[in-house]
Amino acid sequence: MIENFLQTIVGFVDTLFVSKLGLNEVAAVGVVNAILAVYIAVFMAMGVGTSSMIARSVGAGDIEKAKAIARQSTIISVLLGLIFGIVTLFFAEPLLMLMGAEPSVLADGVVYFRIVAIPSLFISLMTVFGSILRAAGNTKTPMKVGLWMNILHIGLDYVFIFGLFGWSGWGIAGAAWATTVARLFGTVVLFLYIRKSKLSFSVRKGSSIDFSLPILKLSLPAAAERLIMRFGQVLYFGLIVKIGTDVYASHVIAGNIEIFSYMPGYGLAIAATTLVGQLLGANRREDAYQYGMLTAGLAVIFMSFVGVLLFFFSPIAATLFTGQDDVIDMVTTALRIDAFAQPFLAIGLVLAGALQGAGDTKSPMYSTAIGMWFIRVVGVYVLCIYWDMGIAGVWLSIAIDLMVRALFLLWRFQKKMGKGRGSHVELENRLTSPKESSQK
């Protein structure tokens, strides 16, 4: 939770510094980050597959298998990082133009994009190294590294953007270099911590190619889920823009405030992935189920409290972003609807993590596809464009999506763990190597 909160704060400070350069620079960073979100989605999906398999192996006491999985995940992450880096090197400008970057934004965008994304290797490795440590039950180390990395990032941001001691700085290029150097620092330090842990491995020694296919089988649905979510957001954001600029601006402001409510859910989702995976690996299915449900219950408590804060303090939070009364009213309406959806958001986030820990990365993908492309998109069209409900229609659609998604994932988790009607008693083991599967 703390690590996610720190990352959110740094993103806010980064945007604040860049905003001092001008609106074109802010727009350039925004367009680049929209593309980087797709890159990061793929890298995070690799982290999901890695976490699930390593947690199961650690729970079973098979540390050598966990090391082999960590080694192979690292190799795949290196390849992915290099591929995305090459794509950025040759196609930075066409990608930005595809995203609708205007000529006044394009030059700054290309500079920023190439500096932060050609070394995508650091983003990819940092993601998988953090996943390896968390899967082994060590969530404190990634948090500590994230803290020092973020402090370094903010310091470098200021110096590289604005300069120091008579040096005028590099402007938007400085912001990019600060981000890249901080990621390099985070990658190196996380790897050094892995070398000191029980999962220490050597990339050059040992063969672990047998684990490539199981890792990719778990990671691909997780990658598809994140891509479905990103592209679905683009579609329904476009519908909101058609409703009106003031409605879209209100939606963006409400989203920026609401993002802090995700922090407990994301943190507990990681806990659920690790605990469920390790307990299933130890063949303690009942405990795995109880821990999954308990973690979801804790998330509901945390995020319901956040919902109370959103309901009562949303007008005050809105005034931090705007002084227009009509926009403040719309932001308040959106966040008060969202306050009632917080328990469902909590259940959805945590049980998605629990299912991933159990080796089921397809159910979260299905829930995201149905929720994003059918409930949200259709809901915004019907409630906002057809019935003219404005911002209330947008956030009612989101709330309905979160409720349906939570109920679906709850049903899938209970069925997966042998608790639902008609479910299998024996949990399907999808994480075995091809050799083990053939023997069975």
Distance in angstroms (rounded) separating the CA atoms of residues 135 and 379: 37
Could you give the 3-state DSSP secondary structure of residue 330?
helix
In this predicted structure, what is the pLDDT of residue 47? 84
31-78 pLDDT per residue, tens = 787 788 788 888 888 888 888 889 888 888 888 888 888 898 899 899
In this predicted structure, what is the pLDDT of residue 231? 78
In this predicted structure, what is the pLDDT of residue 440? 38
Q: Please answer whether residues 293 and 348 qualify as being in contact, where contact means their C-beta atoms are separated by less than 8 angstroms.
A: no
Distance in angstroms (rounded) separating the CA atoms of residues 240 and 4: 28
User: CA angle 356-140-255, nearest 5°?
Assistant: 60
Torsion of CA 399, 402, 404, 405, to 10 degrees: 170
DSSP assignments along 5-39, one per residue:
HHHHHHHHHHHHHHHTT-HHHHHHHHHHHHHHHHH
- Cβ count near 399 (within 10 Å): 20
Model confidence pTM above 0.85: no
In this predicted structure, what is the pLDDT of residue 187? 94
In this predicted structure, what is the pLDDT of residue 208? 61
Low-confidence ranges of the chain (pLDDT < 70): 8, 10-12, 15, 23, 100-101, 205-210, 420-440
18-43 pLDDT per residue, tens = 877 876 787 777 778 778 878 888 88
Positive or negative, the Cα torsion across 381, 387, 389, 395?
negative
Query: Residue 92's closest CA among 65, 71, 113?
Result: 113
In this predicted structure, what is the pLDDT of residue 206? 59
Query: Residue 383's closest CA among 373, 395, 393, 374?
Result: 393
Distance in angstroms (rounded) separating the CA atoms of residues 399 and 185: 39
**The two three-digit tokens of residue 321, written as one number:** 């972003």
Helices (H), 282-324: 285-319
In this predicted structure, what is the pLDDT of residue 270? 87
DSSP assignments along 368-431, one per residue:
HHIIIIIIIHHHHIIIIIIS--THHHHHHHHHHHHHHHHHHHHHHHHHHTT-STT--SSPP---
